Each structure stands twice: as structure tokens, then as C-alpha cells.
Amino acid sequence: MRQIKINSTTGSEIVTQAEFKDFARISTTEDDAIVNIVITAARIWCENYISRDIVAKTRTYYVPETTGIFDIPFGPIASIDSVTIDGTAFTGYTMLGLDNETIDLDGPAEKVKINYTTSGLNDNLLHQAIKQLAVTLYENRSDFEEGKIGSIVPTSTKMLLNDHKNMFI
């Protein structure tokens, strides 16, 4: 089974607390801790939806077996830090694609582990999507509110993200 993990988050949130509070029309500081949590939660949801990193990270990707050419998830790839095949360091690979998100190992391999760094994404559509979803999460902090029916992810948020969506996962 293929596996991926985040080793560290090296970038910063692209939506600031002040930007979100202005967008959500929040004028107090009482909920600042909650605001920070919903900004992060919205960004993580957006990253998972588009299968791309919005905030730069270091990651490890494990592939049990491959024909030799495969896509690396959650780009854009800034750098490949290391590649090991069956526990042995390997340098004979080639990066392919517009954002170096495909790797060619020049033949079949087993137990491939790739450590890499992503650069993250940042544009106005991502800012808007994160803010819209964060507002939804902020306004719907509990599981149930009597007399109110809400949607966890606004349709407009998904539409904003569709241009960034990677079909990897």
C-alpha cells in the first residue's frame, strides 16, 4: 500500500488572522484562538481536496512496488531530498513534468521511499476558498444547532478550488 506522511510544515498560512477577521467581519479578539484553528482546518481541507500543498512541507512518500514511473502526490515539488530503493540510496532518477511531479526510476523497483519538499501554492482563488470555508467552520462550530441546517463545505469553495485540483488521489 502506498503511504504518504508530512514530516514538517515549513511554510506559513497564506490567509492571515487579520485578513480572515476582516472577511468574516469579526471585530473582537475573544475568538482569536478559534480563528487560527479554523484557518488551519480550512487550509488543510483545501489541500486534501486539490491534492496539492498550499503551505510548503517536507514529506515522505512510500511505494511498495512500481514499474519505475509514477507521480509524486501533493506538489508542487521544490526539491527531492532523497530516494531510497529497498533501503539503499538511489540517485539515478529523472524528474519529469511541468512541476517535476513525476519521477522516472529507469526501471521497476520495490520499497521506494522518496523524501521531498513542496513549495506550496498562493493565489487569490486559494485565499478566497480558504476564507469561505473558514467562515463556514467558524459559524458552525458545533455539531448541531437547533433550527439551522448548514452545509459543511460551500459549493462555491469547491468551484474556486477546481482549477487547482490534482487528479492524483
Please provide the DSSP assignment of 8-69 as one string: EE-S--SS-HHHHHHHHT---STTHHHHHHHHHHHHHHHHHHHTS-SS-EEEEEEEEEESSE
**What is the extent of the structural domain holding 160?**
3-54+121-164
> What is the distance between the alpha carbons of residues 57 and 117, in angstroms, rounded to a whole number?
6
| Domain presence at residue 41 | yes
> What is the distance between the alpha carbons of residues 42 and 15, in angstroms, rounded to a whole number?
10
| Domain presence at residue 139 | yes
Is the pTM higher than 0.75? The answer reads yes
Domain co-membership, 17 together with 29: yes
Residue 88 burial (C-beta neighbours within 10 Å; 0-12, 13-18, 19+): exposed
| Domain presence at residue 13 | yes
Instruction: Check residue 169 and give its pLDDT.
Output: 46
Domain co-membership, 64 together with 50: no
Domain co-membership, 107 together with 66: yes
Tell me the mean pLDDT per 10 residues along the chain, length 169. 95 96 95 95 93 96 97 94 97 92 96 97 95 90 57 65 63
The total of structural domains in the chain comes to 2
